[in-house]
Structure 1
Amino acid sequence: MMNHLVSIIVPVYNAGTYIEDTIEMVRCQTYAHWELLLVDDASSDDSRMKIEEYCKKDKRISLIAKEKNEGAALARNTGIAGAGGRFIAFLDADDMWLPQKLEKELQFMEQKNAAFVFSSYEFGDEEAKGTGKVVKVPETLTYREALSRTVIFTSTVLFDTEKLNKTLIQMPNVKSEDTAAWWRILRNGYTAYGLNEVLVIYRRPRKSLSSNKLAAIKRIWNLYRREEKLSLPYSIYNFVLWAFRAALRRI
């Protein structure tokens, strides 16, 4: 397992401020057998130019240039379609991986014989410096458990495509597309395994989408009712638990 290629998929949209740090951070991974697929979603800044410079330096780095901006979900799906690795990892352009992220998750995946693993993470400030606020993860997560806790963070996940079909990993073009994708995978009978160790820093700019509480409430409710088609009572039950846990994570 430790000799197999990992495809790292990064959706990029006007990420020129962060993209060089992101690429360097991947290049510092202790597990070196990876390909970095940077999917530029029609950026209007210098993101594409900076990526092109790195492609010249490191053959493991590839630019996939989209001509039309379609959002992070479809950008990730474009990356999945172009991925050549057995393993697939997602990374958002403004988040940070610790150097042993891939190595430790691969070891954990082998230990658990898992198709889907994720890790703990720490909230970071605008400079991606840890704030000390850590989100711990459960040992395992099933579909029913996942409905009431959005604890799986996109930049922490790793998938084994020999155990999990690529089509299941593709994200629907809806708000909170990542959560919708995790639920679909789990609904299909898979269990996600949590490595309770901080391997990722979640950068949270002051005006980030995730910090908009009302928008988050609408997104999760729409997932329950429109995507999962849960009954009204079961939606309310999961929503109350979700809101409680979400509040605890931010204290």
Structure 2
Amino acid sequence: MKFSILIANYNNGKFFKDCYDSIIAQEYKNWEVVIIDDRSTDNSVEIIKEIIENDERFKLYENDANYGVGVTKAKLIEDATGDICGYLDPDDIIKPNALKSAVEVLEKRKDVVLTYSRLAKCDQNLNILSEFQSAMQVPNGQDTFFNFPIQIAPFVAFRRNVYLKGKKINPELKIAEDQDLYFKMYEVGKVHFINQTDYLYRAHSGGISQNDNKAKSYNYYARSIWEAMQRRNLKYINGKPVPEKYTDPQEIFSLLEYQNKILFRIKKKLIIILQKLFS
């Protein structure tokens, strides 16, 4: 299986060397890297070109305008040639066995369309600050699963051919395009949690979902959930009506508050146990 590492860059060239080094260090060697620069205003393209040099495993493209992450990440999948795809932000890194672990699951489990592991939040110098403890196996085949609270998170790998046959990433999403992808893949196959930390997430002022962008991230996340509700033809969630139009993120999240309750969490764990027994 060929693994396509997908990188959407905007003004993060200064961090790319760490990202590059983590790719070169991968234990699994059958990979390519597809990079699209979304019209950076810094010298990202020059930096990336200097680092990758003439390595044919790296493909660098440039958008003719700043289209945003939704458009760029959708185009990355189309430009890829691998069997498996996984996003890696240019300011983050992955551990050496990230690709290998995902491929091993996807080769063995033909019913699995997406794998995910655990990320660690780091400072600007990639010193680990905390690990994302909420990452765990989620129940498969549930119409009311919306990754709330968030459990599916990077490092994520998914089957490219399955994605191309189904619903594509909504290009209008400026943030939470990853959630949109997770929901759409979840709707067509099983997802599998790999219990290890593979992804080091660098916290810094320029991060797209950090600091001033947190409110926007909250809004786009809610919108991706509402769109999933519409695709699944859900009229009610836990006895409450699903709004016919998306207007307020809190209106969407309030529908899912019951999923944080202890009884729901116990039921979810039981479903997961049963699914593991019969998988």
Per the normalisation by structure 2, the TM-score is: 0.75
1:81 maps to 78
Is 1:56 aligned to 2:48, yes or no?
A: no
Number of residue pairs aligned between Structure 1 and Structure 2: 238
Check conservation: 2:163, 2:185, Cα contact below 8 A.
Answer: no
* 1:41 aligns to 2:25 (yes or no): no
Partner SS state of residue 7, structure 1: strand
Deviation, 1:132, is 3.1
Alignment partner, residue 32 of structure 1: 29
**1:247 matched to which residue of 2?**
none
Residues 113 and 158, structure 2, Cα contact 8 Å, conserved in 1: yes
Of 124-133 and 31-40, the range deviating more from structure 2? 124-133
Query: Helix, strand or coil: the match of 1:146?
Result: coil
* Alpha-carbon contact 2:33-2:58 (below 8 Å) kept: yes
SS in 1 for 2:33: strand
> Who is 1:238 aligned against?
256
Report the counterpart of residue 128 of structure 1 in structure 2.
126
Deviation at 1:177, TM superposition (A): 1.4
Residue 71 of structure 1, aligned match among 68, 80, 88 = 68
CA RMSD, aligned part only? Answer: 2.6
Q: What's the CA shift for 1:239? A: 4.5
Q: Distance in 2 between matches of 1:112 and 1:156?
A: 18
Alignment of 1:13-28 (within 5 A): 13-28=10-25
Q: Is the 8 A contact 2:26 2:99 kept in 1?
A: yes
Q: Mind listing any 5+ residue stretches in structure 1 that lack a counterpart?
A: 245-251
8 Å Cα contact 2:114/2:191 also seen in 1? yes
Q: List alignment gaps of at least 5 residues for structure 2.
A: 243-251, 263-279
Q: Which has the larger radius of gyration?
A: 2
SS at match of 2:75: helix
**Secondary structure of 1:18's aligned partner:** helix
Look up the equivalent residue of 2:199 and give its one-letter code: V
Deviation at 1:243, TM superposition (A): 11
The Cα shift of 1:225 comes to: 3.5
Kindly, what percent of the aligned residue pairs are identical?
19
Q: CA deviation at 1:108?
A: 2.4
Deviation, 1:62, is 1.0
Deviation digits for residues 6-33 of structure 1 (CA, Å, limit 9, x no counterpart): 1111001111211122112111111111
Aligned counterpart for 1:172 among listed residues 165, 170, 194: 170
Where 2:129 maps in the other structure, the secondary structure is strand
Identify the residue that residue 152 of structure 1 maps to in structure 2.
Answer: 152
Using the alignment, how far apart are the partners of 2:132 and 2:163 within structure 1? 31
Q: CA deviation at 1:221?
A: 3.0
Instruction: Report the alpha carbon displacement of residue 224 of structure 1 after superposing the two structures with TM.
Output: 3.4
Which residue does 2:225 correspond to in 1? 224
Following the alignment from structure 2 to structure 1, what is the Cα–Cα distance between the partners of residues 38 and 206? 21
Match of 2:116 among 115, 118, 125: 118
In 2, the alpha carbon distance for the partners of 1:138 and 1:77 equals 26
